[in-house]
């Protein structure tokens, strides 16, 4: 049975197609419409997905009526354009699942775990903001829920807005800024906004409305540090509750909060094993809804599930470009499903050169303080970074053990957001790293997304030509 999963009317629409547990396609709307965090699916995305098969059923990631009631009675936002408007898909039987249930199913059914606790933390679903589920024998059962307005995600987003960034989009920038600040300066004050996991000062949907001090270039880094610290304290409290409530040793973590790679590392201290689906936010819920309808584990092989540029991985061309220019822009094969470029729509660079960070930041038109991430051959990970687990999807920030050798991929606080790669995961990328290693003794490259700040990742041939024309630089394919 072919199932089409859809999420939209949220801050990152997507579409997934599965056939008896095999993922045929999963892609983001923004990569086709070129509108960052596009709320709606579009014809091009649907056309790309449907070339792999025509669905027997459709799964939708949310209960639209319930969400409408919340928006009407308690505030918030959300569109109401029906996704099926004007298409033949309107004839296909469809089922709506709860927002947090779709998150939980996306995580549990793509994991290798039969028995695990599933935690979902985001800004808001229909009403739920924080939920705990038991996943066992392909059954996902709710064990605890916290409803709007108390919300981990809204707390983080409101402070993102307070320090002058875009809420629902630039939380990751605030997380990066936290490394530059002194958390102690604002810890007590920020903690009053979220003193324990059951209580917040007020509904943060309105933003932080009673901050009685000017936010400026000096103190915004300290505020970011305090917010990150308070978030981590509450996260650990919540995770401990989830562990005690379900008595399980494996964790599946989902929802937009699971994109906080600095905090995610702490989870390995609490659980024997952790799975965060590489697209844990709302964009991952088109796959979650499809999995919920399928009702069994699906065969998660890799995040390379989107638009297919085809081609062999251009190992030699990348190495040559890095030898000559220190930087190689790469677009090949299928696009990543999820916010991170993991080798197929990436800028790769020599991590040893201290000037590379500024050069890449200039290409991408990003703030100069922003750190870059390393991709490393998995077998060398514990030699270069303080980590005893794999990080194939760049989801964990860990201490770098040789920061002087690879300065361009180490944050000011001595940490790096690491992607580990083995042969099964991505042979082409592993071969590229292996070649770089044989030439330099360093099994690591800088890896960042192939896009300009605030714009979606490059997707197809047209995007490549446009980039090459605009920036007068070749993209390797
Ligand atoms: Fe969500």
What pLDDT does residue 84 have?
64
Span from the CA of 266 to the centroid of ligand 1 (angstroms) = 22
Q: Is the pLDDT of residue 73 over 70?
A: no
Mean per-residue pLDDT, 443-459:
93
Span from the CA of 101 to the centroid of ligand 1 (angstroms) = 10
Span from the CA of 227 to the centroid of ligand 1 (angstroms) = 20
Q: Is the pLDDT of residue 416 over 60?
A: yes
Span from the CA of 10 to the centroid of ligand 1 (angstroms) = 8
The CA-based dihedral angle spanning residues 24, 30, 33, 39, taken in that order and rounded to the nearest 10 degrees: 110
Q: Which of 37-41, 341-345, 457-461 has the lowest mean pLDDT?
A: 37-41
Tens digit of each residue's pLDDT (9 = 90 or more) over 180-189: 999 999 999 9
Q: What percent of the chain has pLDDT over 90?
A: 85
Residue 255 · residue 129 · CB < 8 Å: no
Span from the CA of 419 to the centroid of ligand 1 (angstroms) = 24
Q: What percent of the chain has pLDDT over 70?
A: 96
Span from the CA of 337 to the centroid of ligand 1 (angstroms) = 16
**Average pLDDT score, the chain:** 94
Span from the CA of 118 to the centroid of ligand 1 (angstroms) = 14
What pLDDT does residue 439 have?
98
What pLDDT does residue 99 have?
96
Tens digit of each residue's pLDDT (9 = 90 or more) over 83-141: 566 778 888 999 999 999 999 999 999 999 999 999 999 999 999 999 999 999 999 99
Tens digit of each residue's pLDDT (9 = 90 or more) over 402-414: 999 999 999 999 9
Span from the CA of 390 to the centroid of ligand 1 (angstroms) = 25
Q: Is the pLDDT of residue 71 over 80?
A: no
What pLDDT does residue 151 have?
98
What pLDDT does residue 21 have?
94
Q: Is the pLDDT of residue 80 over 70?
A: no
CA 446 vs CA 398, 416, 443: distances in Å: 15, 11, 11
Tens digit of each residue's pLDDT (9 = 90 or more) over 145-178: 999 999 999 999 999 999 999 998 899 999 999 9
Mean per-residue pLDDT, 48-67:
92
Span from the CA of 12 to the centroid of ligand 1 (angstroms) = 10
What pLDDT does residue 83 have?
58
Tens digit of each residue's pLDDT (9 = 90 or more) over 341-388: 999 999 999 999 988 988 888 888 877 767 799 999 999 999 999 999
Q: Which of 28-32, 36-40, 269-273, 462-466 has the lowest mean pLDDT?
A: 36-40
Span from the CA of 257 to the centroid of ligand 1 (angstroms) = 9
Confidence of residue 82 (pLDDT cuts 50, 70, 90): low
Q: CA 322, CA 306: separation in Å to the nearest integer?
A: 26
Residue 254 · residue 119 · CB < 8 Å: yes
Span from the CA of 342 to the centroid of ligand 1 (angstroms) = 23
What pLDDT does residue 467 have?
92
The crossing angle, in degrees rounded to 10, of helices 220-246 and 152-162 is: 180
Span from the CA of 379 to the centroid of ligand 1 (angstroms) = 34
Q: CA 387, CA 464: separation in Å to the nearest integer?
A: 36
Mean per-residue pLDDT, 215-238:
97
Q: Which tokens in the block code for residue 270?
A: 């609490």
What pLDDT does residue 362 have?
81
What pLDDT does residue 85 have?
66
Span from the CA of 124 to the centroid of ligand 1 (angstroms) = 6
Q: Is the pLDDT of residue 72 over 70?
A: no
What pLDDT does residue 176 have?
92
Tens digit of each residue's pLDDT (9 = 90 or more) over 129-144: 999 999 999 999 999 9
Tens digit of each residue's pLDDT (9 = 90 or more) over 310-340: 999 999 999 999 999 999 999 999 999 999 9
Phi first, then psi: give them for residue 74, nearest 5 degrees.
Answer: -130, 0
Span from the CA of 422 to the centroid of ligand 1 (angstroms) = 31
Span from the CA of 465 to the centroid of ligand 1 (angstroms) = 34
Span from the CA of 102 to the centroid of ligand 1 (angstroms) = 9
Q: What residues have CB less than 8 Å from 206, skipping those under 6 apart?
A: none
**Burial code of 90-119, b = ≥16 C-beta within 10 A, e = fewer?**
eebebebbbbbbbbbbbbbbbbebeebbbb
- Please indicate whether residue 39 or residue 144 has the higher confidence score (pLDDT): 144
Residue with token string 């059962």: 141
Number of CB atoms found within 10 A of residue 19's CB? 18
What pLDDT does residue 337 have?
98
């Amino acid at each position: 049975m072919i199932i089409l999963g859809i999420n939209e009317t949220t801050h990152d629409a997507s579409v997934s197609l599965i056939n008896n547990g095999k993922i045929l396609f999963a892609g983001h709307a923004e990569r086709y419409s070129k509108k960052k965090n596009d709320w709606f699916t579009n014809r091009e995305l649907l056309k790309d997905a449907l070339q792999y098969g025509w669905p027997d059923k459709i799964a939708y990631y949310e209960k639209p009526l319930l969400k409408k009631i919340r928006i009407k009675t308690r505030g918030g936002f959300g569109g109401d354009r029906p996704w099926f408007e004007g298409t033949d898909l309107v004839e296909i039987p469809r089922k709506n699942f709860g927002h947090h249930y779709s998150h939980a199913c996306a995580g549990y059914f793509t994991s290798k775990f039969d028995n695990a606790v599933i935690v979902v933390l985001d800004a808001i679903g229909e009403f739920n903001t924080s939920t705990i589920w038991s996943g066992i024998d392909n059954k996902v059962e709710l064990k605890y829920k916290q409803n709007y307005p108390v919300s981990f995600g809204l707390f983080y987003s409101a402070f993102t807005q307070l320090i002058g960034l875009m809420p629902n989009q630039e939380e990751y920038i605030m997380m990066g800024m936290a490394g530059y600040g002194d958390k102690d300066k604002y810890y007590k004050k920020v903690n009053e906004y979220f003193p324990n996991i059951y209580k917040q000062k007020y509904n943060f949907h309105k933003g932080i409305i009673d901050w009685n001090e000017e936010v400026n270039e000096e103190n915004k880094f300290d505020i970011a540090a305090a917010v990150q610290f308070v978030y981590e304290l509450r996260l650990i409290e919540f995770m401990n509750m989830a562990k005690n409530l379900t008595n399980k040793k494996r964790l599946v973590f989902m929802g937009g909060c699971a994109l906080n790679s600095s905090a995610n590392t702490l989870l390995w201290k609490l659980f024997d094993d952790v799975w965060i689906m590489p697209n844990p936010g709302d964009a991952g819920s088109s796959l979650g809804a499809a999995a919920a309808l399928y009702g069994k584990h699906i065969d998660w092989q890799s995040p390379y599930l989107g638009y297919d540029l085809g081609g062999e991985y251009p190992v030699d061309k990348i190495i040559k470009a890095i030898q000559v220019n220190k930087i190689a822009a790469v677009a090949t094969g299928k696009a990543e499903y999820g916010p991170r470029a993991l080798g197929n729509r990436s800028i790769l660079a020599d991590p040893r050169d201290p000037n590379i960070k500024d050069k890449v930041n200039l290409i991408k038109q990003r703030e100069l303080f922003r750190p870059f991430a390393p991709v490393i051959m998995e077998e060398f990970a514990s030699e270069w970074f303080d980590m005893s687990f794999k990080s194939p999807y760049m989801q964990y920030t860990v201490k770098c053990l040789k920061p002087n050798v690879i300065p361009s991929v180490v944050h000011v606080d001595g940490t790096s957001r690491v992607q580990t790669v083995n042969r099964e995961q991505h042979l082409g990328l592993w071969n590229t790293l292996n070649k770089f290693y044989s030439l330099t003794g360093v099994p690591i490259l800088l890896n960042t997304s192939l896009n300009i700040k605030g714009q979606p990742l490059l997707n197809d041939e047209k995007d490549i030509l446009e980039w090459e024309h605009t920036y007068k630089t070749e993209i390797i394919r």
